[in-house]
Chain A
């Protein structure tokens, strides 16, 4: 197991609110580590609506969600936050000295003095196809719901399932990486970006990939490791295909997940907080953004930003109960950095 990451605040969730919390913490000279279940930062903005304009961010009459995320990333650069992406925080323990130990799904261990949950709607989890023994081959045994490192698939035989943009994009990309690529799609047409669909078609015509339409992956076979899948056509005809990896790409859906089991006071799937500093029922743990609830709560980015600023003051006091912090404006302090 790798060495534990040590930081002042661990921020769970790299949505807009978690990212802005890094900036606010940085102004107080607090170091941050950010963890997100998604492979990229931005939360709902990157996952659901990257190309949609947002009109209610102060100072931006109009900004695309994806651009807002890029700007937030740029704004926090001077504070050198560290990131663990593509892993969900699963377990969480408070130690006797008031600090915390967090563990992700992949076993990454984070030791921190305060925790800021900016988990939004919960972690985005892959939508799974209805294949009976799917779970048996998860966790590195052949089924991958995301392509985190394309190199993992170098010279492997892979089957991708799905008909949306990510299935098309990864088919095109991995055609040059994997030794053998088969794309299985339930329908006969692709409704993803027209040029990606065209590229897939061209690769198929050139014999570089296999395209199996009007079909589904219906069974997985192997003993501990995935060895074969059965692809069944809508006409009922089935065929076994040998492979190393099966990559079902059907998008992601948010689930509150483990946060609900950490002993925090919860109301309607959201964490109850004190609006003084967005602290939860457990001292040292704060909750900001869409994940929290209090009288008058509005699920808006703007409100999450405000919560992040106040939360950091609270976290500072929790971490340094004897230190006094006097608020200085960034315009007085000059360009902030760590």
Chain B
């Protein structure tokens, strides 16, 4: 579809699964991951309050900078990476086409 973009989830080094998501529904990456059956809790429903949707961005287009609420939450995690983000704070837009992410370890 015209409004669809692709994001890739890296399951293991070199092993990526392609997900197709719409850009005209205001969905977040967290919602797409959940809808695709990935094991993320997203306890707070996308309010940047729980960090159970933590992902690591490995490659792809430059994303908008995280807002304060997201940075605050990332700060509380024991392990973060250079590309750590909360997937609920990443909107699916034409600008996120081609994003490659890895799910962070559960609980982190």
Residues of A that sit less than 8 Å from B by CB = 44, 48-49, 52, 121, 125, 127-130, 161-165, 186-187, 190-192, 248, 250-251, 253-255
Contacts and interface: CB of A to CB of B under 8 A. Distances in A.
For the complex of A and B, 5 pairs with smallest distance between CB atoms: A164-B76, A129-B78, A250-B78, A251-B76, A253-B107
B82 to A, nearest CB: 11
B103 interface: no
A128 B41 CA distance: 17
Contacts of B75: 163-164, 187, 190-192
A163 B75 CA distance: 6
Interface of B: 41, 43-44, 47, 49-52, 68, 71-72, 75-80, 106-108
B76 A250 contact: yes
Contacts of A130: 78-79
B108 to A, nearest CB: 6
Contact of A121 (B41, B51, B80): B41
A250 B49 contact: no
Contacts of B77: 127, 250-251
10 contacts: A48-B43, A125-B107, A127-B108, A128-B78, A191-B72, A250-B78, A251-B76, A254-B41, A254-B52, A255-B107
B78 A253 contact: no
Contacts of A255: 107
A127 B72 CA distance: 16
A125 B43 CA distance: 14
A192 B76 CA distance: 9
A143 to B, nearest CB: 13
Contacts of A254: 41, 43, 52
Contact of B80 (A125, A161, A186, A248): A186
Given A121-B43, A191-B71, A254-B43, A48 B76 contact: no
Contacts of A127: 76-78, 107-108
A52 B51 CA distance: 17
Contacts of A190: 75
A163 B76 CA distance: 6
Given A186-B80, A251-B77, A254-B43, 7 more contacts: A127-B76, A127-B108, A130-B79, A163-B75, A164-B72, A253-B43, A253-B52
Contacts of B107: 125, 127-128, 253, 255
Contacts of A251: 51, 76-77
A192 B68 CA distance: 11
Q: Of residues A187, A191, A248, which shows the largest number of chain B Cβ atoms within 10 Å of its Cβ?
A: A191
B44 A49 contact: yes
Contacts of B71: 191
Contacts of B78: 127-130, 161-162, 248, 250
A169 to B, nearest CB: 12
Contacts of A129: 78-79
A44 B49 CA distance: 11
A262 to B, nearest CB: 21
Nearest to A190: B75
Contacts of A187: 75
B18 to A, nearest CB: 26
A162 B76 contact: yes
A231 B69 CA distance: 28
A335 to B, nearest CB: 37
A254 B41 CA distance: 9
A27 B15 CA distance: 58
